[in-house]
Amino acid sequence: MAAQTKAATTMQQILTGCGSVAPHPHVAKVRQQLLKCRTAANGYHLYQCGDNDCRHVAYQYHSCRNRHCPPCGALKKEEWVEARRLELLPIKYYHVVFTLPHELNSIIMGNRAALFKLLFDASAQTLLTFGADTQYLGATPGIISVLHTWACFGGPEQVIEYPGRYTHKVAISNHRLQAYDTVAHKVTFEYKDYTDGGKQKQMVLHDIGFVRRFEQHILPHRFTKIRSYGYLSNRGRRERVNQILKTMDQPPHPPPIKIPWQVRLLERYGKQANECPCCHQPTLRLIAVVHPKAGRIESD
């Protein structure tokens, strides 16, 4: 009988069972980071419950923080979205999609960094040029560009939330993985068929083919997938936004507030960071931090 996992199938399990497909050293490094994510090989925080009747010991394994890792990036995404919300103006926002023809697919695969940059530069130049033309706007627009392959949405809040979903999104999330047959080496996953009214369907691929597709979505080393132009350019952005608000007789935006991750954890999951998983009391205490790469242990 096939050894098939029907629940909690993860990209980490598939990478472990299949191995790397692409020989590129950067892709191999990313794969190693994903394989170590939230395992003892990546180090951990050691906690113990302070309740004398419990004394439960808990290990919190370190995440890899790689932007291609499905479990990582949720809190960073929320921070990004919150920061962009603080820049919203009382004006209309629009979503513009720039696509590349399929005929360029093979060229892109061999020259991704150069052609992705050309796409960013060309799309930004187009919008800035039309924006500056008095026939259309006669002003400098603010542009946030995100490299992705999906489209549709509503008002200003949705404009910010929509690209926010893709700033830290990976090729496929774990919840779309349905099963991994480790004997037949078959991966079953969900996808949305836009040629059939956006219906949710299932596809089965050999694990080598599946991993090959995943590795094709790994961005070039240090490539920036989200960029800003116009009045939203990074340098002096806050000052420009507040100056625009001033000319509109609107109050300036408040300064950003750094929200601790413990607060975001409570807001997102309703769980306190020091909650004991055994007795469910806020009594966990940090005992030590293990750093395997440095070969040292920090005791509290």
pLDDT along the chain (300 residues), means of 10: 59 87 84 93 94 95 90 77 85 86 85 92 96 94 81 53 61 90 94 85 94 89 92 92 94 86 81 91 94 63
CB-based contact 10:39 (threshold 8 Å): no
Conformational region of residue 186, where left means phi above 0, alpha means psi within -120 to 50, and beta covers everything else: beta
Please state, in angstroms and rounded to a whole number, the distance separating the CA atoms of residues 242 and 254. 10
In terms of Cβ atoms closer than 10 Å to its own Cβ (0-12, 13-18, 19+), residue 185 is middle
Q: Where are the domains of the chain?
A: 1-72+175-213+282-300, 74-167+224-235
| pLDDT for position 151 | 39
The rounded distance, in Å, linking the Cα atoms of 118 and 147 is 12
The pLDDT of residue 2 is: 47
Residue that the structure tokens 């309740």 belong to: 51
Q: Which amino acid is at 42?
A: N
* 3-state DSSP assignment of residue 46: strand
